[in-house]
Structure 1
């Protein structure tokens, strides 16, 4: 659910349709991700509303990319999110397989793409809500430019990312490369992705995706 309010009852169901949008975006992006199945239909033009990049916010310089390592936990201090990360692949339909609703407080990392902290854009996906309660990325659209995201990695380092953009991307007018592609070549970037917009009861899916973009600005042991 987006910042417009809390979903109710059956509105808290994330269906394969929403994740299919993510699949198509990755398929079109393509250069850094392999093994994705094409052939699904999705809008190809963009209508991206930047909600988290106010004028005058001074952002730190990018840190050099790190050696690849797998993520173990993601922390978003301003949202009080501290969640384990699990690797996810593709389901039988060729779409990214998100964590189950029983793991609504867990974040899925697309293991077929970049590793967070290494060069490229690493993709993290999470549910916005369930049938009964908010999930791990319920408040994702409240993030703003300049805020921090930390990813603990299995090599003992913590990659520190700074948010530089928050977008609500309507599925009816969608530009995959703009939404999911790397913003600056050679940087280590991160995307946090969930559903947003309006819940369509007939289609049983949301009208948009919330996409938080961040880039590597520091590292700790």
Structure 2
């Protein structure tokens, strides 16, 4: 029995190692489109980080978690449906197709938002002709809220506590995607950042927004339509 558990942990560890490498590769082509639009210039800086003096609430106990259906960041005007995604042939998270550039992808092979662990949400920054769902993600700041509505009707509210911009030349997958505190329910929202290099056809950085669960409630019932 202990041997089986050990093998399971090994397989899980290997799967995450492949995933983290894939996430780095994913930003090369999949999230950035062609860079034809004026994408947010976040700069190749190590971190926006947490400004001094920003009070953050205590963490909420992890929930059972549910498959996400919608994500909203009111301060950024982001509101989008969420669909489960897996890995592509290269081991990278397979984002929604460009025809659905207003949709966010959730890595269904990982944690569900609200449960203990790190849930991953990925989205395009632009397409060939226009901004995409996470175009404004680089403007996120600690203290802002992220609301994820699950398939069970629960709204998990996360508070952003860190915003990192990782240049490709100094990318640390474990630091970017690993848990910040063991036992918490955490969330990562990921897209491309920096500037678009037309020679390599890739963005120069990844924007990684980190948040943790601070509240949960039932979704508000929809209002009946007028007769």
TM-score by length of 1: 0.80
Q: 2:82 touches 2:103 (CA, 8 Å); kept in 1?
A: yes
Aligned alpha-carbon RMSD (Å): 2.2
Report SS of the residue matched to 1:172. Answer: helix
Structure 1 segment 39-58 matched on structure 2, within 5 A: 49-58=46-55
Q: 1:88 touches 1:109 (CA, 8 Å); kept in 2?
A: yes
Q: Which residue of 2 aligns with 1:188?
A: 185
Q: Following the alignment from structure 2 to structure 1, what is the Cα–Cα distance between the partners of residues 93 and 167? A: 19
Q: 2:65 touches 2:113 (CA, 8 Å); kept in 1?
A: yes
Structure 2 gap ranges (5+): 1-11, 26-43, 219-227
The alpha-carbon deviation at position 35 of structure 1 amounts to 8.9
User: Which one of 56, 75, 78 corresponds to residue 78 of structure 1?
Assistant: 75
Q: Which residue of 1 aligns with 2:137?
A: 140
The alpha-carbon deviation at position 189 of structure 1 amounts to 0.2
Structure 1 segment 97-136 matched on structure 2, within 5 A: 97-136=94-133
Structure 1 segment 6-45 matched on structure 2, within 5 A: 31=13, 36=18
Distance 1:165 1:212, change over 3 A: same
Q: Which has the higher helix share?
A: 2
Report SS of the residue matched to 2:46. Answer: strand
Aligned length: 188
Q: Which residue of 2 aligns with 1:27?
A: none
Q: Following the alignment from structure 1 to structure 2, what is the Cα–Cα distance between the partners of residues 32 and 60? A: 34
Correspondence 1:199 to 2:193? no
The alpha-carbon deviation at position 175 of structure 1 amounts to 1.2
User: Which one of 159, 162, 165 corresponds to residue 165 of structure 1?
Assistant: 162
Q: Which residue of 2 aligns with 1:177?
A: 174
Report SS of the residue matched to 2:175. Answer: helix
TM-score by length of 2: 0.78
Deviations 1:114-164 (A, max 9, x none): 100000010000000011110000010101000000000011100000000
